[in-house]
């Protein structure tokens, strides 16, 4: 089932579904919709696809199709609460400051509009949590694109007192990323650089406690080698798309796992795969 990010689409789909339906469960379903909207508002589940959700709970033919299972209103409510923790996986942090509100409002507006190989919300949230947990402050991103992951990283850094350097080779995406950083209110936390990371990463100065690598996969190992000595103790080199079955990714992961100076683990909640290698 395709998961889209549009709440509006979900609601329209839902009413279309209601119009088509002739059975007596419509009023019950409207009740569930109200309950779900109330829950999603309070828990910032804006990325949840409501149409997918209602397809799940309403489509008796595809789901729960056993004739013997005549699930009632109560069964639907139970299903709702079983599904909510799964749907909550992509949830946004709670807004506590004016900046949080600005970032969240931008992310909500932009929901479903990230089309330049950007990370999904779930992975953005994982990066955000990693930075807060480790209290990292000196971050580097390789592969900005239009800035989705950078926004999550910079948002976390705004809370730890840190700053992000992010590198992008494509001028159009770089310019769009700059505009996105402004709209999200995070420009002060991001130093965006236009250029080839093959050159910029080896020559970058300073030490880092958080690196997010999301550019050309075949160069991952070289990026890691270039950053190895610039990583602070306890700092982590995080790489995206490590579930890809390419020879380059396999070689990169083998290199990480054999490296005695780093402990590497994998984030299971990321569908694309995230390796997290922290300097001992």
Ligand X SMILES: C[S@@+](CC[C@H](N)C(=O)[O-])C[C@H]1O[C@@H](n2cnc3c(N)ncnc32)[C@H](O)[C@@H]1O
Which residues bind to ligand X, rule: CB under 6 A? 117-119, 143-149, 167-170, 173, 196-198, 214-216
Q: Which is nearer to ligand X, 32 or 139 (CB)?
A: 139
The nearest distance, CB 212 to ligand X, in angstroms, is: 7
Q: Which is nearer to ligand X, 32 or 236 (CB)?
A: 236
Task: For 193-260, give the secondary structure using H, E and C.
Answer: EECCHHHHHHHCCCCEEEEEECCCHHHHHHHHHHHHCCEEEEEEEEEECCCCCCHHHHHHHHHHHHCC
- What CA–CA distance (Å, rounded) separates 130 from 211? 11
What is the H or E stretch that residue 183 is in? Answer: helix 171-184
Q: Which is nearer to ligand X, 140 or 256 (CB)?
A: 140
Q: Which is nearer to ligand X, 100 or 170 (CB)?
A: 170
The nearest distance, CB 116 to ligand X, in angstroms, is: 6
The nearest distance, CB 124 to ligand X, in angstroms, is: 7
Q: Which is nearer to ligand X, 57 or 150 (CB)?
A: 150
Burial of 204 (0-12, 13-18, 19+ CB in 10 A): middle
The nearest distance, CB 25 to ligand X, in angstroms, is: 40
Give residue 266's Cα distance to chain centre: 15
CB atoms near residue 257 (< 10 Å):
12
Provide the β-strand partners of residue 239.
213, 275
The nearest distance, CB 77 to ligand X, in angstroms, is: 36
């Amino acid at each position: 089932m395709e998961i889209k990010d549009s709440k509006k689409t979900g609601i329209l789909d839902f009413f279309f579904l209601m119009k088509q339906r002739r059975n007596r469960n419509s009023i019950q379903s409207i009740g569930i919709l109200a309950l779900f909207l109330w829950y999603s508002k309070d828990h910032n589940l804006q990325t949840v696809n409501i149409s997918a959700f209602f397809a799940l709970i309403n489509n008796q033919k595809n789901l729960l199709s056993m004739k013997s299972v005549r699930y009632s209103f109560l069964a639907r409510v139970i299903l709702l609460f079983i599904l909510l923790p799964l749907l909550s996986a992509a949830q946004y942090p709670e807004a506590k400051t004016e900046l949080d509100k600005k970032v969240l409002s931008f992310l909500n507006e932009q929901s479903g509009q990230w089309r330049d190989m950007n990370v999904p919300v779930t992975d953005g949230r994982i990066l955000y949590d990693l930075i807060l947990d480790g209290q990292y402050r000196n971050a580097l991103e390789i592969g900005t694109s239009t800035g989705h992951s950078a926004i999550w990283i910079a948002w976390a850094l705004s809370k730890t007192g840190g700053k992000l350097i992010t590198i992008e080779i494509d001028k159009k995406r770089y310019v769009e990323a700059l505009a996105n950083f402004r709209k999200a209110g995070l420009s002060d936390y991001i130093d965006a650089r236009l250029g080839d990371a093959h050159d910029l990463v080896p020559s970058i100065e300073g030490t880092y406690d958080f690196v997010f690598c999301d550019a050309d996969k075949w160069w991952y190992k070289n990026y890691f080698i270039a950053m190895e000595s610039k990583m602070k103790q306890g700092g982590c080199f995080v790489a995206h798309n490590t579930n890809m079955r390419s020879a380059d990714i396999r070689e990169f992961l083998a290199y990480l796992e054999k490296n005695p100076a780093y402990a590497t683990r994998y984030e299971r909640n990321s569908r694309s795969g995230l390796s997290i290698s922290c300097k001992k």
